[in-house]
Structure 1
């Protein structure tokens, strides 16, 4: 078996292993996201019921916030399921040809992007719910004559939600770090925000009850809506940048500097990077000595790929060779 064949087999084996690792991560994330959905549903029911009994607009806003968590997490689970459904013969209902130029492994990279697509969809859901909370809260502030202060049942509901949401935050953060999954880490940020809003709701209801400030409950519900709106915009921005093939310029500068350290590389002409889901793909154009042998270039390519994978967790590196014109003149 010649060296080229060994190289191609090794590359295929490496990428297959990395793809399967990513699939395993996403499938693990789905299990933990189902826990999220269960907790969100329970909290939503408790808070909404006690908001009616306790007469609290802020608690009702927090319940709708958690309802947005149920919807957005459910949508994300569907997206992750589609992304990991390797044996399916279609993508989102679009039938795949029986004979395709692209292999199943290459098609899987496209499926990984579905995680980002459905995360973007969840941002729209969050934005719509936040606007509804803000509008309802503002309307309530103009009708304070018919509104009384919330009672302690509302504080109980918000307190229960705070404790449960903290548990969800811990699960998402712990296992998100453990398996290195962006969806769970994003969910942990969302959960932490929910802890803050539920704790804020608890404090608001108690102050409103003891000081008889009916307007405070409505004002805080508007603030909660604003906080949810900000979260939705953050998720929208991150997902959109990912789909637009945006990669942190600092990271790209580090990648370029790393490649230029190799003796055989005269200059990095261009570097293009993008994400497929959580996987970083890099295309590099380098100048080398035009008199370098194919074997020398081959070894340089291998070293670049191994280095970027080890130091930056780059999934795939494509190196394009350009002969240095200055050396051609010599």
Structure 2
């Protein structure tokens, strides 16, 4: 299965998230207004940002499927990462709004307990989002889509947020009225943390950052292949959900062209099977033999 097929299947997961988030956000905001729950309102606003973020990811995936052209010889895969960066800015703005509205209410001397309908709504939507998480996680594992796996983790965190909202509303029923605005504050902080994590990961990838421990794993895989005497340089970077590896290997100088090429084919095959990496640029150098006296 090629990378374009994986991206196309990833779009299916994005659509599932969009539909679920639209339903949950509309339901939560409506019930929050009726029940008077700030926590559920914050949860609904959180889901509304997830709608925008999922749409941004979907657009990025669509652009990523465009084939290479004269201006983009490596393709358009980084559009996926840029869309995630845009989504982080949207989530940041909403997170700040939720926190700034929750803090004054939390320290207000007067609190009113929301209707328990808000709590049951939060619990119901938590079950929905956990189901979406299971679906997207399975799809991400089958297609090796890092973007979809990240979306699945976001689905799971949203389910936990809704469970926290249920706890806040339920606690308010026992005259712990401050639990509802406190839950709203916690939801706002979770939105900000999620936005920061997405921003950090996106900027790291866009600036060609790559985890050193992962790079050492790639080095170890290549070093274990028969015929590879030494690795003098290895680099890797992300291109959307794909990984590009550049490596300089040293082989026996007495090998002919065909034998050297066979080693490169072994490297490419091992990288596909072990790390699911299809793009490996290999440069071959003869290893310097120590002169015998």
The TM-score with structure 2 as length reference comes to: 0.91
C-alpha displacement at 1:323, in angstroms?
3.1
Q: 1:149 matched to which residue of 2?
A: 113
Over 3 Å counting, the alpha-carbon distance change for 1:166 and 1:308 in structure 2 is: closer
Residue in structure 1 matched with residue 36 of structure 2 by the alignment: 55
Contact 1:114 1:277 (C-alpha < 8 Å) held by counterparts:
yes
Query: How far 1:327 sits from its partner (Å)?
Result: 4.6
Alignment partner of 1:112: what SS?
coil
Equivalent residue for 1:265, pick from 217, 228, 235: 228
Distance 1:57 1:300, change over 3 A: same
**Is residue 122 of structure 1 aligned with residue 122 of structure 2?**
no
Deviation, structure 1 residue 70: 0.7
Structure 2 CA distance for partners of 1:289 and 1:178, relative to 1, 3 Å: closer
8 Å contact kept, 1:144–1:214:
no
Asked if 1 retains the 8 angstrom alpha-carbon contact of 2:133 and 2:156, the reply is yes
- Aligned to 2:228, the other structure's residue is in SS state coil
Q: Give 1:83's aligned residue.
A: 64
Counterpart among 188, 200, 208 of residue 164 in structure 2: 200
The root-mean-square deviation of aligned C-alpha atoms, in Å, is: 2.2
- Counterparts in 2 of 1:124 and 1:263: CA distance versus 1, 3 Å: same
> What SS does structure 1 have at the residue aligned with 2:285?
strand
Deviations 1:163-193 (A, max 9, x none): 2222222221222222222222111111111
Mapped partners of 2:44, 2:128: distance in 1? 13
The corresponding residue for 1:308 is: 271
Aligned length: 293
Q: What is the SS of the residue equivalent to 1:303?
A: helix
**Residue 295 of structure 1, aligned match among 231, 255, 258:** 258
1:260 Cα deviation after fit: 2.6
* In 2, Cα distance between equivalents of 1:198 and 1:311: 37
Structure 2: state its 5+ residue gaps. none
| Corresponding residue SS for 2:78 | helix
Partner secondary structure for residue 214 of structure 1: coil
d(CA) in 2 for partners of 1:165 and 1:302?
43
Q: Distance in 1 between matches of 2:202 and 2:114?
A: 38
Q: Which has the higher helix share?
A: 1
Distance 1:328 1:269, change over 3 A: farther
User: Which runs of no fewer than 5 residues in structure 1 stay unpaired?
Assistant: 1-17, 88-95
**Cα contact 1:123–1:236 (8 A) shared by 2:** yes
Q: Given the alignment of the two structures, is residue 69 of structure 1 paired with residue 34 of structure 2, yes or no?
A: no
The Cα shift of 1:326 comes to: 4.3
Q: 1:43 aligns with which of 14, 24, 45?
A: 24
Larger radius of gyration: 1
